[in-house]
Amino acid sequence: MLESDPSRDFSKHEDPSIAVPCSYIPLPDGPHTRELASARRMPPKRAIFKVFSGVLILALVFAIIIGGRNSDVHANGNALLATSTSSMASEPLRPVSRGVSAGVSEKANHVFSGVEVASFPWNNTMLSWQRTAYHFQPEKNWMNDPNGPMFYKGWYHFFYQYNPHGPVWGDIVWGHAASKDLIHWLHLPLAMVPDQWYDLNGVWTGSATLLPDGRIIMLYTGSTNESVQVQNLAYPANLSDPLLVNWDKYSGNPVLRPPPGIDSKDFRDPTTAWYTSDGKWNIAIGSKVNKTGITLIYHTEDFKSYELLDGLLHAVPGTGMWECVDFYPVSKTSGKGLDTSANGPEVKHVFKTSLDNDKNDYYAIGTYDEKSGRWVPDNPKIGIELRYDYGIFYASKSFYDLHKGRRVLWGWIHESDSEIADVKKGWASVQSIPRTVLLDTKTGTNLLQWPVEEVDNLRLTSREFERVEVKAGSVVPLDIDAATQLDIFAEFELDKEALEMTAQTNVEFSCSTSGGAAERGALGPFGLLVLADDSLSEQTPVYFFIAKGIDGNLKTFFCADQTRSSEATDVNKQIYGSSVPVLKDEKLSVRLLVDHSIVEIFAQGGRTCITSRVYPTKAIYGAARLFLFNNATEATVTSSLKIWQMNSAFIRPFQPGQDA
């Protein structure tokens, strides 16, 4: 275990990022979540916490039962929502903070904080439809961060933060599932539970490292009986078991405590380790000093004793606490993934952090100097530059899949409805479809994310639509059997005359601050309306918007508009999106995975990604429709599409002794 080193006291440094000349510039095209101020309070004893949680859940259920008449619904942005016909009165939503006082990021949806919003009278038909068919989620209850993904003896393993007692955050343990193909899953027994003083208040996020001799190292953050964040070591009880059902905790835990100057609640989420040329392993841990997000680096030979290295892997002022840090190499020349320890002249390194301040995942591409232990972004003026996903995607974790030579990324997709609705349906959160991650060698400045190839095996029947003309201001229905479980690939072309004739403008465009798909421009918006009903009273537009600057150059934006996605009142309805690089002679293209209440979107081969949670009240089951639309004022759009109906994944509990 690391002994405290008084010489490494971070409290003595007003700005530990002085050696890292980077600034944090919030991206203008993402939604700006308001910062939540939550008072710190002393953590209750575990027994009292459980009683309080039980009483709170009962109170929420009682609120659902007595929920009453829904008041008139007002316009969200520029979109007028329909009025509920319920004759019962509804209680105003009063969100409860979860996680902050315990020392992790906010785990409750606070979009309605300080706003008088009535809970919507959801019925079981609506809520049942929201459960996904081919995204991973537990049978019930709350789930958040992905943990320790790996491939071992023919099985993919996935661990996750899980509350076995209810559909809200709390009592966190490690859930565990295994799969042969990353799509069909077996639910296994809980891997780790809070049963020791060093993790009594939660078995939190961690990462797996597979050693060359076949051993597996699992490092995870524990919240102690005094709510101090420490790092702990665990390993499989039986390496001959391919399902890794049983896990042992190291008797000498914790192996790491917060160093001097680091707050006891700001030291969490160890990364996968990478091997260095001096025969040791490095791990990174996220933290902060004042408002500067930092990443600490530790050296170890045996994963039991550690040395805190001088300097920081990276730091950016003004970003706050860095959670779920990830650090991995990508090839500059190959279309294959790289082992976490790879380095060399043909390698770039990706640094990623999950910002507690705004609940988004940011990354930048740069160069790692193993000797100094420093990583320098390619753009030295910006410390963290891009987002993995411009919608709902947080606490992501990647791993190197040695079976197929690829890097695979998981991300937590939380709910954006009310906690009352989550309690009623009995579950909350899903995981993204696992994504491959590569460096975009054409631009050299961004990553490419794409659904793993195994998801293609869920494709059933398909329909193709060739060169469908969509005139300015029109909507075209697409004749498909059902529109709830789809894999869609679409390409779009604008008529060249409109591109050339469109006037230049100095008006800045932003997805999140625009009027959404209803705001018309010369060259957009145009795209698809998913999860729409026949009358279009509910619809989720996914679209491109092209702006022509005063220099005559075209800039392409890609957006998802949720403002008219549901007639429910207690749903977060934002407009997500960002600019997307489009190179010369490239067609505009997008892939969508529609799976009930989640829509994952990949533009231009995965240069820009958006994940949305959608909660329609009418555009569900057989009433869900799919449309092309073009709301541009001057351009005609031609689109070609291939649309597959998608099968459901087989996700079930595993019983000992049964055939896997």
The 3-class secondary structure across 318-338, one letter per residue, is CCCCEEEEEEEEEECCCCCCC
- pLDDT of 109 reads 66
Name the catalytic one among 145, 171, 358, 401: 145
Max Cα-Cα span within the chain:
72
Confidence of residue 632 (pLDDT cuts 50, 70, 90): very high
On the question of pLDDT at 418 being above 60, the answer is yes
Tell me the residue length of the chain. 660
User: What span, in angstroms and rounded, lies between the C-alpha atoms of 245 and 190?
Assistant: 8
User: What span, in angstroms and rounded, lies between the C-alpha atoms of 410 and 395?
Assistant: 9
On the question of pLDDT at 86 being above 90, the answer is no
> Lowest mean pLDDT: which of 1-15, 115-129, 223-237, 457-471?
1-15
Q: Could you give the strand order of the β-sheet that contains 625-630, starting from the edge strand earlier in sequence? A: 474-477, 625-630, 526-532, 540-548, 554-561, 575-579
Which residue reads 């043909």 in tokens? Answer: 346
The verdict on whether omega for the bond into residue 254 sits within 30 degrees of 0, i.e. cis, is: yes
Compare 390 and 45 and report the one with higher pLDDT: 390
- pLDDT of 110 reads 58
- pLDDT of 658 reads 61
User: What span, in angstroms and rounded, lies between the C-alpha atoms of 647 and 650?
Assistant: 9
Spatial contact of 541 and 561, defined as CB atoms under 8 Å apart: yes
Q: How far is C-alpha 481 from the chain's CA centre?
A: 30
Tokens of 82: 């329909």
- pLDDT of 497 reads 84
On the question of pLDDT at 395 being above 60, the answer is yes
> Lowest mean pLDDT: which of 284-298, 539-553, 577-591?
539-553
- Taking only the tens place, the pLDDT of each residue in 533-582 is 999 999 999 999 999 887 878 899 999 999 999 999 999 999 999 999 99
Instruction: Compute the half-sphere exposure of residue 152: CA atoms within 13 Å on the CB side of its CA.
Output: 26
For the whole model, what pTM was predicted? 0.87
pLDDT above 70: percentage of residues in the chain: 83
- pLDDT of 96 reads 76
> Lowest mean pLDDT: which of 107-111, 360-364, 441-445?
107-111
Angle at 624 between CA 558 and CA 69, to 5 degrees: 100
On the question of pLDDT at 68 being above 90, the answer is no
- Taking only the tens place, the pLDDT of each residue in 352-390 is 999 999 999 999 999 999 888 889 999 877 778 899 999
- pLDDT of 659 reads 57
On the question of pLDDT at 40 being above 80, the answer is no
User: What span, in angstroms and rounded, lies between the C-alpha atoms of 487 and 183?
Assistant: 15
Confidence of residue 496 (pLDDT cuts 50, 70, 90): confident
Q: Which helix (H) or strand (E) holds 149?
A: strand 141-152
Average pLDDT over every residue of 156-180: 97
On the question of pLDDT at 35 being above 80, the answer is no
285 phi/psi in degrees, rounded to 5? -135, 135
On the question of pLDDT at 408 being above 70, the answer is yes
On the question of pLDDT at 27 being above 80, the answer is no
- pLDDT of 9 reads 67
Average pLDDT over every residue of 587-594: 98
On the question of pLDDT at 45 being above 50, the answer is no
Average pLDDT over every residue of 500-521: 85
Compare 38 and 578 and report the one with higher pLDDT: 578
Confidence of residue 92 (pLDDT cuts 50, 70, 90): low
Q: Is 145 known to be catalytic?
A: yes
Compare 71 and 466 and report the one with higher pLDDT: 466
Average pLDDT over every residue of 191-195: 98
User: Nearest-CA neighbor of 630 among 498, 480, 485?
Assistant: 498
DSSP 79: B
Compare 42 and 514 and report the one with higher pLDDT: 514
User: What span, in angstroms and rounded, lies between the C-alpha atoms of 8 and 256?
Assistant: 14
- pLDDT of 267 reads 98
Q: Are strands 185-192 and 651-653 parallel, antiparallel or unpaired?
A: parallel
- pLDDT of 94 reads 63
Confidence of residue 493 (pLDDT cuts 50, 70, 90): very high
Percent of the chain as helix, strand, coil, to the nearest 5: 10, 40, 50
- pLDDT of 16 reads 43
- Average pLDDT of the chain is 87
Average pLDDT over every residue of 470-489: 97
Q: Which helix (H) or strand (E) holds 499?
A: helix 496-501
Average pLDDT over every residue of 436-441: 98
